[in-house]
Structure 1
Amino acid sequence: TGFVAPQSALEQQLASAWQSVLRLDKVGVHDNFFDLGGNSLLATQVVSRLRDQFAVSVPLHVLFQAPSISGLARHLQAHAPASESLQPTFKPRPDGPLPLSFAQERLWFIDQLIPDSALYVIPLAMRLTGTLDVAALARSLRALVQRHESLRTTFGLVDGKPVQVIAPAQDVPLPLTDLRSLPAEAQSAAVAQHTHAFAVQPFDLHTGPLLRSCLLRLADDSHLWMLSLHHIVADGWSLGVLVQEVAALYASALRGQPDALPALPIQYADYALSQREWLQGPARQPLLDYWTRQLAEVPTVLDLPTDFPRPAVPSPQGALHALQLPAELTASLKALSREEGITLFMTLMAAFQVLLQRYCAKDDFVVGTPIANRTLGQTEALIGCFINTLPIRANLASRPTFRSLLRRVQATCLEAYAHQELPFEHLVDALHLSRDLSHTPLVQVIFVLQNAPMATPALPGLHLEALPTQSTTAKFDLTLSLEETSGGLKGWFEYRTGLFAASTIARLAEQFTTLLAGVVAAPDANIHALPVLSESERWQVLVAFNTNTSAYPSDSIASLFHAQAARTPDAPALLTSDSSLTYRALSERVCRLAHHLHHLGVGPEVTVGVYLERSPDLIVSLLAILSAGGAYVPLDTSYPAERLAFMLEDSRASLVLS
């Protein structure tokens, strides 16, 4: 169908909300939200706008069931505005100490346990190409810090409890290091050294500041701008806000004009106060009830086989392994997602669960995923730590097809999104998990599909390019992080180097790519039939590991024995507790008995029963029968007479040695 413009006032209001979230100029009433680039995060923003605009709570699953303007309009017309909102409200800030948000509180406690750690440093590196006004950039950074209280916040103690301490003003040094004189190779080495040192420099939460910035001048028209923040004052979403606002402030500074950014409706401390008040009210119990029911009897440890023994307290040292999926495979995964009416995240999460199942051999386990947790419109423009961890329970029982698994993952994810406001720390406490420092509580493996807004803005006279930063720490045993690019999905595995070898993670990445290709080729296949091994691994398992042929003598056992007796006649051949026989003596006894058996008719196709205890006579008898060309039938002396009689009859033994 072609484009159909919104007609009613309700449709026009909904279209405006969609255009704002999807950053589109127009939206038709029959357009599919997810076909237009929507995902779960953007759907949450739409739901937030609908709640603010129409005073009605729209469950997230409604947007999946009716992903069009016309469908949403019908839903809103059928549902009256909410009489009582279970959403946080923002009140005037009271006098006295400002508490931490629950996410901040967790990070503060971790900092007390592991001080001077770079584990929660968030680095950002941007290449600036063109004419840079360093003074204007410095002014824009100062304006940004003045605009966001979170960037002027440090953390102290009042009556033994951590509190936010907001400075009225704070300078932001922007040191400039000139590397223009260095040859290309030396400059690259210097850049790598500077970026690494900058990214691993820890923060002091008490003294601050918790934002750093510096510049490397590579050429007259090329600079590297580096920022780092502590996670306690920012998250991944915050980086997008930061870059966009610095760009707008820089443009104003160049023109000598005051900044034109709209005033922030609230500050992060207001959110922290509101969150604490809200979760002390009636909203908390339904969230707790859902999560404790959802995670009842779930295994709280996902034990992947490791290359190295797990220490009592794992080291935070980590590494990254890059992953790039072909554009064609990415397009096929998106097509499968659209066909099933789900998001790309859900498809990738389902595939990751299948891969983990092959390693842990379990159908029931937990994979964590971070969620922006900005369900209120007032929080979208803030820099701060809002992120929460959702434990997604995998259910791979009953050997489902992959398409059936997608339905399960969708249902689990949508329910989790609807209950995302419960802080992860509260859930861990409610589950009464035993505190084992060798594992992170409940979640040891994380999956991330980066979809926080991070568009690269345009600056007057400058081209900006975000550069990857190398991590040397790992917060979890294993994290798979992906993002969609014009060339296909790309990302990395972050892993604890104290648990996994680099070769293991490289193999895991290759297997994930193979599995995804199998998924799009046969989504109706049983998940256990989906391929995981690459072609090289299949060859290794089926061919290389089975190349075990070796040359062996074609002579009979009897002839090999007699040849050995001829070579080493005086060597010991048979030892018992009270006697021994050399090869010569044993061979003589064997030959005498074999000659006698031959005269009794023993030869090829003739069987002879052997009814003897373990002794030298038993060995002589077996070798003699073989030397005569016959076959022996061992008769256990402990067997009943009936059993022995059946064996003799069944084997057609011509005689018995006893």
Structure 2
Amino acid sequence: MSGARTRRELVVEAWRAVLEVEPAGDDEDFFDAGGNSILLVMLQRELSERLGHRVPLSRISADPTLAGLSALEDGPAADAAVRATPFPRDDGRPAPLAHSQERLWLQEQFTPGHVDGTIELAYLLAGDWEPERLERALLRVVEHHPVLRTIYPIDADDLEVSQVVRPTAELVLEQRPTEALSGAVPPLGPGDQAGPGGPEALEAVAAGVFADWWETPFDLEAAPPLRARLCALGDGRHLLCLQVHHLAFDGWSERRLIDDLAAAYRGEELRPVPVGYASYSRWERSEAAQWLESDLPFWRDRLSRPPRPFLPAPGTAEGERREAEIGLDRDTVGRLTRVAASYGGPPGAALAAAVGRAVSGAFGVPDVCLGTVTAGRSVTALEPVVGCFVNPVALVLGGVCGQSPGESMRSTAEALTSAMEHGRTPFDELVRLLGPDRERHPWFQTWVVLQNEPPRAHLGEAMWLDPVRVPKPRTGLDLVVEAIPRPDGGWRVLVAWRADVVAGSSAEALRTELRAAFGGLADLA
């Protein structure tokens, strides 16, 4: 590198490529500017390509400002995984499933209609908007993102499943009043809305709207994986409900979907999508051997002696889902974020550290293994693509019960950043090669996820679309802790569990331990 100025210019280019904005100044923080864990991995890739050496995630997280990134020291030359092959052209032929899709497709065969295999999206619509115009906008979005009009037939000869994109978009926006649905929709008072006035009441209404869909599996071989319903709530308000199979969607896709829906409704051009999902699935298979060569030694060592299961084995594929909530204000989240960065971790490391300490305390286990997901969008070209890219990874946290908050933060930051560094190889491939005990979920029973902030959209003058969370009635996951960012900068932390696996008293103990863990970690700031 010829000088600091040249390096800074390259960093600015990487910043601009990921966030699509110019940095406000040398001291602007990447996360304050709109970055998150997904974009962090993309930034790592952009920096590695431009600087000519692999930049560790821990170094980026430690000082994610423009000045800090410009001061990064040179490291080892970029490996082959950074210098990935170009995406193949989409020739319109049936394509193999991506590895994340294979896992979900198999689960659908064994447990048709399982609720963890679908994603429910609900939005409160207010203002003087037009239902027919909204339906046309939805169709335009489906046309723009081929995965939303893809079916998954099984070849009669070789019994292989593939993804086949239908040539035209097909979607009916079903319109009903809430009272015409399922009979399980609770009443909604005039003060209930998606906000401080009563989000739980509106969430209960949304769950009732989805009730019959949860009992009606998608026909993945014959029909696209998307349903749409518009429900009148009264007082000029409506609830837009979308259910999409996880095969075609993940959490990051929601922002792309809503941004494009709003643009289509306003009659604007949609953001170009440089890569089709079918091209991605072929590209993933071409890269898999390189990823495995880099990732397998790490996981073979990290998962050689995982903690034993601490929860009883469920007797059925799904059980009743229950949940409890913890609210964290903006100041607490800010302190947790600064603490995580001081130990070289992204904000999700603070969440994972708190959950590890809480699980250890509530269930009396010295060692904890948490499951989380990587975004799977390590290439910037995949950022605007709707589809399923997420890949599970394990965070092994040893000796949690005897650690101080700082020690927990340090070990968790290392576990998370190293897992993200080695999170490209598909989870199922690791299971096949490492051969864990398959009587239970391989390696972990507790999931921890820092979600993206649910998107809001402006459809026009005095016309808004606001997200409404949809609680699921049952689940196949034993225990999940997820943090959902709020518009005010705080987190809505949800603890969800299977009622036939986790006792109510244990869940309450976990929530108590979790509050204490958040407080102890925030005090490190």
Aligned pairs (5 A) from 1:13-24: 13-18=10-15, 21-22=18-19
Partners of 2:47 and 2:121 lie apart in 1 by: 33
Cα 1:181–1:132 shift into 2, 3 Å: farther
Cα 1:285–1:81 shift into 2, 3 Å: closer
Cα 1:497–1:88 shift into 2, 3 Å: farther
How far the C-alpha of 1:53 sits from its partner, in A, is 5.0
- Contact 1:351–1:515, Cα closer than 8 Å, also in 2: yes
Quote the residue 1:517 is aligned against.
Answer: 519
Cα 1:371–1:316 shift into 2, 3 Å: farther
Aligned pairs (5 A) from 1:144-155: 144-155=141-152
- Contact 1:388–1:424, Cα closer than 8 Å, also in 2: yes
Instruction: Say yes or no: does 1:337 pair with 2:340.
Output: yes
How far the C-alpha of 1:48 sits from its partner, in A, is 2.9
- Contact 1:121–1:231, Cα closer than 8 Å, also in 2: yes
Cα 1:401–1:491 shift into 2, 3 Å: closer
Instruction: Say yes or no: does 1:235 pair with 2:250.
Output: yes
User: Could you report, residue by residue, the CA deviation over 1:209-235 in whole angstroms, capped at 9, with x for unpaired residues?
Assistant: 210111112236321101010001101
Quote the residue 1:114 is aligned against.
Answer: 111
Cα 1:477–1:85 shift into 2, 3 Å: closer
Quote the residue 1:11 is aligned against.
Answer: 8
Cα 1:237–1:134 shift into 2, 3 Å: same
- Contact 2:90–2:276, Cα closer than 8 Å, also in 1: no
- Contact 1:180–1:217, Cα closer than 8 Å, also in 2: no
Instruction: Say yes or no: does 1:430 pair with 2:433.
Output: yes
Cα 1:191–1:38 shift into 2, 3 Å: closer
Quote the residue 2:447 is aligned against.
Answer: 446
TM-score normalised by length of structure 1: 0.70
Aligned pairs (5 A) from 1:605-644: none
Partners of 2:383 and 2:150 lie apart in 1 by: 19
User: Could you report, residue by residue, the CA deviation over 1:301-329 in whole angstroms, capped at 9, with x for unpaired residues?
Assistant: 4313x6xxx44445343232233234554
1:217 alignment partner AA: A
Q: Structure 1: which 5+ residue stretches go unaligned?
A: 1-5, 253-258, 525-658
Partners of 1:502 and 1:400 lie apart in 2 by: 27
1:176 alignment partner AA: Q
- Contact 2:266–2:460, Cα closer than 8 Å, also in 1: yes
Partners of 2:29 and 2:450 lie apart in 1 by: 21
Instruction: Say yes or no: does 1:484 pair with 2:485.
Output: yes
TM-score normalised by length of structure 2: 0.86
Q: Which fold has the larger relative contact order, with Cα–Cα distance below 8 Å and residues 6 or more apart in sequence?
A: 2
How far the C-alpha of 1:340 sits from its partner, in A, is 4.2
User: Could you report, residue by residue, the CA deviation over 1:561-597 in whole angstroms, capped at 9, with x for unpaired residues?
Assistant: xxxxxxxxxxxxxxxxxxxxxxxxxxxxxxxxxxxxx
Quote the residue 1:404 is aligned against.
Answer: 407
Partners of 2:21 and 2:480 lie apart in 1 by: 33
Quote the residue 1:353 is aligned against.
Answer: 356
1:197 alignment partner AA: D
Quote the residue 2:240 is aligned against.
Answer: 225
Q: Structure 2: which 5+ residue stretches go unaligned?
A: 190-203
Instruction: Say yes or no: does 1:125 pair with 2:127.
Output: no
- Contact 1:314–1:498, Cα closer than 8 Å, also in 2: no
Cα 1:76–1:342 shift into 2, 3 Å: closer
User: Could you report, residue by residue, the CA deviation over 1:311-352 in whole angstroms, capped at 9, with x for unpaired residues?
Assistant: 444534323223323455434434433554533321221121
- Contact 1:402–1:519, Cα closer than 8 Å, also in 2: yes
Number of aligned positions between the proteins? 502
User: Could you report, residue by residue, the CA deviation over 1:96-150 in whole angstroms, capped at 9, with x for unpaired residues?
Assistant: 5411000100111111111233331100000011011111111111111111111
Instruction: Say yes or no: does 1:323 pair with 2:330.
Output: no
Partners of 1:80 and 1:429 lie apart in 2 by: 31
Partners of 1:285 and 1:154 lie apart in 2 by: 33
User: Could you report, residue by residue, the CA deviation over 1:214-264 in whole angstroms, capped at 9, with x for unpaired residues?
Assistant: 111223632110101000110111111111110111110xxxxxx512431
How far the C-alpha of 1:396 sits from its partner, in A, is 2.0
2:126 alignment partner AA: T
Partners of 1:128 and 1:121 lie apart in 2 by: 22
User: Could you report, residue by residue, the CA deviation over 1:53-100 in whole angstroms, capped at 9, with x for unpaired residues?
Assistant: 566543323313553334433447777676885525312246754110
Name the SS for the 2:109 alignment partner: helix
Match of 2:368 among 365, 371, 379: 365
Partners of 2:160 and 2:179 lie apart in 1 by: 49
Q: CA RMSD in A?
A: 3.1
Name the SS for the 2:510 alignment partner: helix
- Contact 1:247–1:458, Cα closer than 8 Å, also in 2: yes
1:87 alignment partner AA: A
- Contact 1:15–1:28, Cα closer than 8 Å, also in 2: no
Partners of 2:77 and 2:318 lie apart in 1 by: 54
Instruction: Say yes or no: does 1:286 pair with 2:294.
Output: yes
Partners of 1:377 and 1:10 lie apart in 2 by: 20
Structure with higher Rg: it is: 1
Partners of 1:231 and 1:360 lie apart in 2 by: 31
Partners of 1:508 and 1:398 lie apart in 2 by: 14
- Contact 1:345–1:449, Cα closer than 8 Å, also in 2: yes
How far the C-alpha of 1:23 sits from its partner, in A, is 6.4
- Contact 2:362–2:506, Cα closer than 8 Å, also in 1: no
1:473 alignment partner AA: R
How far the C-alpha of 1:292 sits from its partner, in A, is 0.8
- Contact 1:325–1:513, Cα closer than 8 Å, also in 2: no
Quote the residue 2:208 is aligned against.
Answer: 193
Cα 1:374–1:58 shift into 2, 3 Å: same
2:511 alignment partner AA: A
